[in-house]
A and B are shown apart, each in its own frame.
Chain A
Amino acid sequence: QVQLQESGPGLMKPSETLSLTCTVSGGSINPYYWSWIRQPPGKGLEWVAYIYSSGATNYNPSLKSRVTISVDTSKSQFSLKLSSVTAADTAVYYCARFMTSGLYYFDYWGQGTLVTVSS
């Protein structure tokens, strides 16, 4: 059973860079796509980015200028960096496995980690 676990700072100040890591266990990080999705308090889900285990990426156009997703297969981890955060980036951030090859859905999710941006 694949398990994902997010780790992050919890509380941040405006203008800082958010760094999140997702550790994959119970299965291989290869050869899959992995993604970040977020949910602001009281609002809906928003896809942020996905990455293939070889490094190919795709980003939400509305966040692309501030987001970088990366993967470290040796550690079975993938990461997200979001620069110049504001209160609008306050959200629960989920990592998930993104199934492709004619399927295109998220089959395994982490529990999520709350990131609060406040001065």
Chain B
Amino acid sequence: QSALTQPASVSGSPGQSLSISCTGTSRDVGGYNYVSWYQIHPGKAPKVVIYEVSNRPSGVSYRFSGSKSGTTASLTISGLQAEDEADYYCSAYTTSNALVFGGGTKLTVL
């Protein structure tokens, strides 16, 4: 299984909105609606911000939203804040009952 494809980096100014894409295949992203997104701050444990494509866990800011079209999922962060600066990873449950992650995207708040 190959890693899902994410942009290496994205950046935006405070208050802006931006999206991170996650492209896979019909065996993973396109197979089920089981795409999740994780935020990792340096030295911290990963934190889930979106699961099942577009569901937000309790306690996660409404500024985080997710969507999917075909074999590409997207994480959108609106009203960008300094605290959003982190690494973001998508993950998908595959048709082989396995998990695959994206290569990760470094988000910089300018």
Where the two chains meet, the residues of A that have a C-beta atom closer than 8 Å to any C-beta of B are 35, 37, 44-47, 50, 58, 60-62, 94, 96, 98-99, 102-107, 109-112
22 contacts between A and B (CB under 8 A): A35-B99, A44-B89, A44-B101, A44-B104, A45-B46, A47-B100, A60-B1, A62-B1, A94-B45, A96-B46, A98-B99, A99-B51, A104-B34, A104-B52, A104-B99, A105-B34, A106-B46, A106-B48, A106-B91, A107-B57, A110-B45, A112-B45
In the bound complex, CA of A105 to CA of B52 (Å):
8
Report whether A107 and B98 are in contact in the complex, using a CB–CB cutoff of 8 Å: no
User: B64 on the interface (CB 8 Å rule)?
Assistant: no
Known interface pairs A44-B103, A44-B104. Does A103 touch B46 (Cβ–Cβ under 8 Å)?
Answer: no
By a CB distance below 8 angstroms, the chain B residues around A107 are: 48, 51, 57
Partner of A46, one of B38, B51, B57, B101: B101
In the bound complex, CA of A63 to CA of B67 (Å):
31
User: B36 on the interface (CB 8 Å rule)?
Assistant: yes
Among B48, B99, B100, B102, max chain A CB count under 10 A is at B99
By a CB distance below 8 angstroms, the chain A residues around B91 are: 45, 47, 105-106
Binary interface encoding of chain B residues 94-110 relative to chain A, with 1 for a CB under 8 A from any of its CBs, else 0: 00111111111000000
Among B1, B46, B97, max chain A CB count under 10 A is at B46
By a CB distance below 8 angstroms, the chain A residues around B51 are: 99, 103-105, 107
**Nearest CB on B from A28, distance (A):** 20
Report whether B48 and A44 are in contact in the complex, using a CB–CB cutoff of 8 Å: no
Q: In chain B between 61 and 99, which residues have their CB closer than 8 angstroms to a CB of chain A? A: 89, 91, 93, 96-99
User: B3 on the interface (CB 8 Å rule)?
Assistant: yes
